[in-house]
Structure 1
Amino acid sequence: MVRKVKKASRRPKIAEGNSSAVTKIPADHTFSFCIQFNEELSLDLEATSCVKCQPAIQHKVLDLLTGKELGPNEVGELYVRAPHITGRYLKPGNQIETSSIDKDGWFETGDLCFMDEKRNLYIKDRVKFTYRYKYDVVMPTEVESVLQQHPDVQEAGVVGISHPDTHSATRALVVLKPGRGCSAKDLCKFVADRCPEHKQLHAGVQFVKSLPVNKGGKLDRQALKSLAVSGI
């Protein structure tokens, strides 16, 4: 009996991921949260999806630059439409904010995602955190994921720095593990060996003691950008 209990209490390995939610869309009508798993994990891709929207929800994925509707496995911004989506909502201080709904009723979620052939949704990042390198969109979480694979890196945050020729250039702010001492050149090469040109660290690496976080304990990307621009 004891053996059976122990066997039943064993838990499968849990993959670590990031979650996000759309507060203007009631959770009982559509997805309540979406999980983005590290790409190097050997999991069934469909298991990392936030599944499908409910039948009452119309949804589409549009290209960030052209606004064209995309097909399966193409990354763009998620738009949804349904009669119950909130047009306005109350912010702290009793201030009313209007949702991003166009004249046809499509709500701009701000989520960067793609759909597979079964129309399962996969959240990649928030649109506001992305930036352009020439004609390509860069998702900082993808570059951060590569940097985290380096044995000397404890934490990494990536931002786009304004550049006159390429629109933006990628800079990484890195916290090294205690006792480790790789150089900025080493990390630039590490990323260059694993990423296409638009994801490479063209604005270099900045070593910091810690990365800024918000009240929720998540990486504060606005503060990170200020830190990168100031060069402190």
Structure 2
Amino acid sequence: MTETTLGVLITKSSSPRAGSVGQIVPGMMAKIIDENGTALGPYQEGELCFKGPLIMKGYVGDEASTKIAIDKDNWLHTGDVAYYDGDGYFFIVDRIKELIKYKAFQVAPAELEGILLTHPGISDAAVVGLPDEEAGELPLAFVVRRPGTSITAKEVQDFVAAKVSPQKKLRGGVQFVDAIPKNPTGKILRRVLKLVGLPDEEAGELPLAFVVRRPGTSITAKEVQDFVAAKVSPQKKLRGGVQFVDTIPKNPTGKILRRVLKERV
């Protein structure tokens, strides 16, 4: 990362460690911290932080961003979820901003993607968080089938469920796509995936409602779905669910900005 000016982790050719980004270079310090800023021990996942002479002084003309990146003790917060082993080798797990918040748990998309790619019927995959009123977010997988295969969503979900703890199951479902959107360096464009709204392999798309509650009311998603279902034909039911929001984005003329809403999915 450019904020470190030079490489701060190095792997010795004489003792490489599979999957590791290396050990800290002489003169620099590194630590893993939890959400409260407490330093963690080996094999505990948290945010990777660096300190030392190679760290930048700050972003030119952007004091606010500098204060976010570098704390009062001069530790640079990378935004990477990582851990280190007993020999001081560091391993990157994912980006903090990409973590899926399922109930009280944080789920790393990269971990689930790695598992999905071990399935013989999957050529590529990406995982994002699907908003859920009760759980926060549900892991949702976008999967590219290998040519000639016909795996189903349930087979993919069962495959992952057999290899992960309960909170990491693909409770948001599986969507099959032709390709995973990526930038020129191969990084998954999760924002683009979230723009698809709520696709469905069999139906094409499912109606999803964004609702602003009236002050003092506490209607639930099911109550809204039942209310609509009683007034429409079956194909118009809110099968995509209901998401409660503070406001509905609109342009100056009052037109609903549906693209903005889709970015929230």
TM-score by length of 1: 0.75
Match of 2:4 in 1: 25
Q: Which of 48, 53, 57 is matched with 1:83 structurally?
A: 53
Distance 1:47 1:191, change over 3 A: closer
| Larger relative contact order (Cα-Cα within 8 Å, sequence gap ≥ 6) | 1
CA positional deviation for 1:84 = 3.6
The one-letter code sitting in structure 1 at the alignment partner of 2:144 is V
The ranges of structure 1 where at least 4 consecutive aligned residues each deviate by more than 6 angstroms after the TM superposition are none
Calculate the aligned-residue CA RMSD, in Å.
Answer: 2.3
Distance in 2 (CA, whole Å) between partners of 1:212 and 1:193 is 27
CA positional deviation for 1:47 = 4.1
Contact persistence 2:22–2:89 (CA under 8 A) = yes
Distance in 2 (CA, whole Å) between partners of 1:126 and 1:223 is 17
Q: Which of 103, 108, 111 is matched with 1:134 structurally?
A: 103
CA positional deviation for 1:31 = 2.3
Alignment of 1:8-23 (within 5 A): 22-23=1-2
- CA deviation string 1:3-60 (max 9, x = no partner): xxxxxxxxxxxxxxxxxxx1110225x1279xxxxxxxxxx98343222212321221
Q: Which of 8, 23, 31 is matched with 1:60 structurally?
A: 31
- State which structure, 1 or 2, has the greater radius of gyration over its C-alpha atoms: 2
- CA deviation string 1:159-214 (max 9, x = no partner): 11111111110000011112211111111111111111111110101111111111
CA positional deviation for 1:153 = 1.0
TM-score by length of 2: 0.67
Distance 1:89 1:67, change over 3 A: closer
Which is richer in strand? Answer: 1
Match of 2:166 in 1: 197
Q: Which of 110, 127, 131 is matched with 1:162 structurally?
A: 131
CA positional deviation for 1:220 = 1.1
Q: What percent identity do the matched residue pairs reach?
A: 35
Gaps of 5+ in 1: 1-21, 34-43
Distance in 1 (CA, whole Å) between partners of 2:21 and 2:115 is 23
CA positional deviation for 1:68 = 2.3
Distance 1:87 1:32, change over 3 A: farther
Q: Tell me if 1:70 matches 2:40.
A: yes
Distance in 2 (CA, whole Å) between partners of 1:163 and 1:69 is 31
Q: Tell me if 1:49 matches 2:20.
A: yes
Aligned residues: 194
Distance 1:55 1:32, change over 3 A: closer
Distance in 2 (CA, whole Å) between partners of 1:110 and 1:165 is 26
Distance in 2 (CA, whole Å) between partners of 1:79 and 1:107 is 5
Q: Tell me if 1:115 matches 2:115.
A: no
Match of 1:3 in 2: none
